[in-house]
Amino acid sequence: MVDDALNQNLNRAVKHYSSLFMLPSYHIILAFIVTCCMSAGILHLLSFSLSLEGLLSGVFLGTSLAFITFISDLFISNVMLKRDPIYNHRRTSALSLFSWIFWLPFIIMGFLASLFIGHVWAVKLCLLGFSAALILRFIAMNSTASLSLFYSLITALLPSTSCLVPFIFLWLGFINAERLFLFLAIDVIVCYLSSSLFTHFLNKVGQNLVGIPSIRIFRAFLYNWVADLNEPFEKILEKLGEEEDIEISILKFDRLDDSSPKAIIAVPSVHPGPFKNIGSSMLPSVLKKALEEKFKCVACVPLSLLGHELDLVSQAESRKLVDYTVRIADFKGSWDSATPLIKVSDGLSTVCCQAFGDVVFMSLSLAPKTTEDFPKDLSSFICLEAKKIGFKSCLTVNAHNSINGLVETGEALASLKRVAIDSLQKVSSSPRGIIKLGASTVLPAEFTLRDGMGPGGITVLLFEINNEKTAYVIIDGNNMVPGLREKILKALNSMGIKDGEIFTTDTHCVNALTLSRRGYHPIGEVIDHEKLIEYIQSAAAVAMTDLQPVKIGFRKASISKLRVIGRNALEKLCLLTDEAFQTAKKVLIPIFSFTAFLLVTLILIM
């Protein structure tokens, strides 16, 4: 829809960041480190003595290098980086592995050069490899670790220089020691300056786009992705965000006999994003839980018609919204009749429409085509049409129940408007009846966030009007695979439920947890369809035994000056990742080619 490009850019940005820190297990990392160290030791010793003695000495050198790497990683992770949220022992070892991957090719070239040119080239190329590994460590520490300049330098220098010591003892008979140490002193300065220049250019991208250095944004994302720390990234969003008045609509169903709450549909004009536990990503399940605890009833939080520009900037702002919603939900229902659910489709759009008292409730879907975020203007259009027909209020929700490629925006919006008007006209003339409601929530323990299921689980609202049963199924997830909606409706129909609609909340607490194509799994992509349907049928069966006459109430209110990300800031943040990657590509070769030229020149005159 209108925000498809923005959604894709945001998901791509999250994947760009996430992919940089996707690592194998510690045992695999350790095995590769040992392999690299043994290869480096053996090849370097064979450069000086192509014999059995050279091979055995190489094994000893390789073992020494592996041991030094292991000990230095332990020291770095447990002492220097003890309080750093990113660098545990596994990630510190991973950095060592990548350092060896940078260093080893130069040792291989040195071995080959020694066969044809002379032993001294094994030394010189090994030193160039050391420089490459050192630059990598400087960049990594500058970009990802929360250290002072001094500690950052020590943490970058210590592992590589420790591994260089055994090599230096071997070289003392081949090269001048004074020249070697002079080269190393200059080498450290050149490597640090070149890595700093590289990160400077990256930081300028963020500074120019959003007024914040790119590395700071990247580090804040890593804190969240690696350690679930939300505050660093939320502080950035706070700075970039803007104030917005947020509307909340509440449809409440109270038992007829004692007026106690039975079910609540709460629809805040907030998008549940941007990802993981940042901002309002967890809002659907958090608000559901708060309403259920306060009113001892079943609650659900379907998605309104809006996009990521209305993501809240922090959990603190989300908590304000939750507290306010709970306060205003304390009212009693007064209507006792409703229309049956009216479903209208033109082959592209499907609209479910139902009148509860003076309020019309409408859900929109393009299933089985992609149903992503709909623009807020569409809701305004529908509510205006509803008032023309005679309804006092209107509540529109996005079913968000199929993801299947792209849909042409203009055609989809025109279709949705036509079908919405048609459904309003039909529901306005539909006979009303006494409403009975059954409600149930099930929380499948076997479905996790990585599977795409949020903490809110599955909620079923079952209505009976004029002896006709219909159901709304609300799943706490971010969209669903095409065709699953139809399977669920068919399964409900087999239970005597005439029709209904399937919703996902669009929760983004499932996002940025996997490196799948989208960065998350829609409902049904990894979750077994039959098991999911069993849970839904189980919840529907409970709701069916719980049918009771209810009174309906509706309230719409607004909370002022909540901070949202805003479209402008969101577009810039999404653009930042691509801009930073493009800048990195542009400056990488010039900066490090010049660095290599300087170091090669120094080595030649060493």
Lowest mean pLDDT among 5-19, 340-354, 359-373, 448-462: 5-19
Phi, psi of 324 (to 5 degrees): -65, -45
Question: Residue 22: what pLDDT?
Answer: 63
Q: Quick check: 6 pLDDT over 60?
A: no
The rounded distance, in Å, linking the Cα atoms of 213 and 232 is: 13
Q: Nearest to residue 273, comparing CAs of 229, 243, 317?
A: 317
Which one-letter amino acid corresponds to residue 123? V
Q: Element (H or E) spanning 164, and its range?
A: helix 149-171
Lowest mean pLDDT among 189-203, 435-449, 477-491, 565-579: 565-579
The rounded distance, in Å, linking the Cα atoms of 186 and 72 is: 23
Q: Nearest to residue 573, comparing CAs of 216, 231, 304, 270?
A: 216
CA pseudo-torsion sign 387, 390, 396, 402:
negative
Secondary structure (3-state) at 281? coil
Which ranges of 442-527 does DSSP label H, i.e. alpha helix? 484-493
Q: Cβ of 94: how many Cβ atoms within 10 Å?
A: 22
Query: Are the C-beta atoms of 54 and 48 separated by less than 8 Å?
Result: yes
Query: Are the C-beta atoms of 572 and 527 separated by less than 8 Å?
Result: no
Query: Are the C-beta atoms of 299 and 264 separated by less than 8 Å?
Result: yes
Q: Quick check: 259 pLDDT over 90?
A: no
Q: Nearest to residue 104, comparing CAs of 78, 155, 151, 69?
A: 69
Range among 115-129, 167-181, 289-303, 515-529 rated most confident: 289-303
* Per-chain mean pLDDT for the chain: 92
Tokens representing 200 are 């400077």
The 8-class DSSP code of residue 269 comes to: S
Q: How far is the CA of 118 from the CAs of 382, 527, 603, in angstroms?
A: 81, 61, 15
Q: How far is CA 54 from the centre of its chain?
A: 51
Mean pLDDT of 184-205: 96
Omega before 340 cis (within 30°)? no
Q: How far is the CA of 141 from the CAs of 102, 134, 580, in angstroms?
A: 16, 11, 18
Give the model confidence (pLDDT) of 43-97 as tens digits. 999 998 888 988 999 999 999 999 999 999 999 999 999 988 889 999 999 999 9
Burial of 37 (0-12, 13-18, 19+ CB in 10 A): buried
CA angle at 386 for the pair 383 and 389, rounded to the nearest 5°: 155
Q: Quick check: 565 pLDDT over 60?
A: yes
The rounded distance, in Å, linking the Cα atoms of 134 and 213 is: 23
Give the model confidence (pLDDT) of 228-239 as tens digits. 899 999 999 999
Tell me how far apart the terminal alpha carbons of the chain are, to the nearest angstrom: 63
Q: Quick check: 11 pLDDT over 60?
A: no
Q: Which residue is associated with the tokens 């049963």?
A: 469
Task: Label each residue of 551-598 as H, E or C.
Answer: EEEEEEEEEEEEEECCHHHHHHHHHHHHHHHHHHHHHHHHHHHHHHHH
Mean pLDDT of 426-447: 96
Q: Element (H or E) spanning 193, and its range?
A: helix 177-210
Where b means 16+ CB within 10 Å and e means fewer, 117-156 reads eebbbbbbbbbbbbbbbbbbbbbbbbbbbebeeeebbebb
Q: Nearest to residue 311, comparing CAs of 569, 539, 552, 493?
A: 569
Which ranges of 510-566 does DSSP label H, i.e. alpha helix? 529-544
Query: Are the C-beta atoms of 507 and 477 separated by less than 8 Å?
Result: yes
Question: Residue 345: what pLDDT?
Answer: 96
Q: How far is the CA of 427 from the CAs of 173, 228, 263, 390, 497, in angstroms?
A: 94, 47, 23, 11, 19
Question: Residue 2: what pLDDT?
Answer: 46
Pairing type for strands 548-564 and 242-255 reads antiparallel
The rounded distance, in Å, linking the Cα atoms of 243 and 258 is: 41
Q: Quick check: 406 pLDDT over 90?
A: no
Give the model confidence (pLDDT) of 308-347 as tens digits. 899 999 999 999 999 999 999 999 989 999 999 999 999 9
Secondary structure (3-state) at 293? helix
Q: Quick check: 271 pLDDT over 90?
A: yes
Query: Are the C-beta atoms of 372 and 400 separated by less than 8 Å?
Result: yes
Q: Could you write out the DSSP letters of every residue in 101-143?
A: HHHHHHHHHHHHHHHHT-THHHHHHHHHHHHHHHHHHHHHHHH
Over pLDDT 70: what percentage of the chain?
Answer: 96
Helix 529-544 and helix 484-493: axis angle, to 10°?
Answer: 40
Tokens representing 70 are 């292991």
The rounded distance, in Å, linking the Cα atoms of 188 and 194 is: 10
Mean pLDDT of 114-118: 86
The rounded distance, in Å, linking the Cα atoms of 131 and 476 is: 50
Q: Quick check: 14 pLDDT over 60?
A: no
CA pseudo-torsion sign 145, 149, 151, 154:
positive
Mean pLDDT of 411-422: 96
Give 342 or 21, the one with higher predicted confidence: 342
pLDDT band of 1, cuts 50, 70, 90: low
Mean pLDDT of 454-481: 97
The 8-class DSSP code of residue 309 comes to: G
Q: Cβ of 468: how many Cβ atoms within 10 Å?
A: 13
Query: Are the C-beta atoms of 238 and 313 separated by less than 8 Å?
Result: yes
